[in-house]
A and B are shown apart, each in its own frame.
Chain A
Amino acid sequence: MTAQAGFRRGLWDGISLVVGYFSIALSFGLLAVRLGFSPLEAQMVSAVVYAGASQFALVSLLAVGASAWSVAGVVVAMNLRHLFYGPALLSRMPADGPRLPRPLLAFGMTDEVFALASASLTRAHGDRWLFGVQMAAYGAWLAGTAAGAFASRWDVARLPAVDAALAFVLPALFLALLLPMLTRRHVLSLVVAGGTALMLAGWLPGHVTMLVAMVAGAAVAALRPQGGGDDAD
């Protein structure tokens, strides 16, 4: 796959993220403006922070008078789970040949991009494909924020059917990505990760639950006795 073809394929494969990102960012734009921030300020937060749940926390905490440094600390703590994403994806990419600068790829390493890339990325795809997926997601995030900030001018009656469809986009995407992974080789780590998430979700914040579940599932995979073809993914 050429570099340009890889990027275009990444943009195309990122379409499933675009729908989900647009709807979540739209909610963020609406919330930010309703909390008293300007559309430009909402857009700046989406452009600079680019991390879903922590952006909601950022504007909500600032709106009730929290200090900038304490809010920044919360944002960073909520995103600690991203520590593992880069190394996990790099281990699937070609080690030699021309490649994009890592600082460029790091910016777009979000939960959903990581999930999609984990399910799809092979050495044949390369880092241009990953960059294409990231650009599709980032574009949708900025466009959704702008649309939400713009829509906040009107008290638009929400349509339950549209709300329901948009709310189901991300679970549907994760389910579709998970299906090809339901093999005997993965099943134990998947059960441990899913079970951990299910047990902790009612007690801990989502970002902490996510981190613990992810590490628990991966630890089971790392510690189990090594069989044939373990590393093929």
Chain B
Amino acid sequence: MRTELLLAAVAGGVGTYLIRFLPMLAGDRLAALSGKGRSRRFLLALGPSAIVALLVLSARDLIVADGDTLSLPFGVLAAGAAVVVLVQRLTHNPALATLAGALAVGLGQALNFS
């Protein structure tokens, strides 16, 4: 195994791990606070904000082709999104809605190419 790769992976991995772990030490103390302060509201809102940001970035990657990134027809994407919304509303199961949406996009793309 190459030394440069091992060094970069271990240093990058340890750095990433510390970024994930060290704030948890403060997080335990924050979690113990049952107050309704701004810091608590900030922490609770991080999840929904992260999800919407991830949705925007991942959907943008599918619409705007960049290098090796796959670009899909808007109609296929819209059909996939509609299936996700429908299945999530009916089942309240994100895993099922995800798989149904992916299958719909795959099917749409297959029909698009045939």
| Chain A interface residues (CB < 8 Å from chain B) | 13, 15-16, 19-20, 37-38, 40-41, 44-45, 48-51, 54, 58, 62, 67-69, 71-72, 74-76, 79-80, 82-93, 95, 102-103, 105-107, 109, 111-112, 114-120, 160-181, 186, 189-190, 192-194, 196-198, 201, 206, 209-210, 213-223, 226, 230-231, 233
Contact = CB atoms under 8 A, between A and B. Distances in A.
Given A41-B5, A72-B11, A161-B109, 10 more contacts: A16-B99, A51-B16, A72-B15, A176-B88, A180-B92, A186-B45, A198-B60, A201-B56, A222-B39, A231-B41
Interface of B: 1-13, 15-17, 19-21, 23-28, 30-32, 36, 38-62, 70, 72, 76-77, 80-81, 84-85, 87-89, 92, 94-95, 97-99, 101-103, 105-110, 113
Contacts of A95: 31-32
A218 B46 contact: yes
A85 B49 CA distance: 12
27 contacts: A19-B99, A45-B9, A49-B9, A62-B5, A75-B15, A76-B15, A83-B19, A92-B31, A95-B32, A107-B17, A109-B20, A161-B107, A163-B70, A168-B77, A172-B97, A172-B102, A173-B98, A176-B87, A176-B98, A178-B48, A194-B55, A197-B56, A210-B53, A217-B45, A221-B44, A223-B38, A226-B36
A175 B55 contact: yes
A68 B5 CA distance: 7
A49 B12 contact: yes
Contacts, number: 320
A106 B31 contact: no
Contact of B48 (A79, A217, A223): A217
B47 A115 contact: yes
B86 to A, nearest CB: 10
B50 A114 contact: yes
Contacts of A37: 2, 5
Contacts of A170: 54, 58
A103 to B, nearest CB: 6
Contacts of B39: 222
Contacts of A106: 17, 20-21, 24
Given A87-B26, A165-B109, A179 B53 contact: no
Contacts of B84: 172, 175-176
Given A88-B43, A91-B40, A80 B21 contact: no
Nearest to A166: B102
Contacts of A116: 94
A190 to B, nearest CB: 5
Contact of A44 (B1, B53, B106): B1
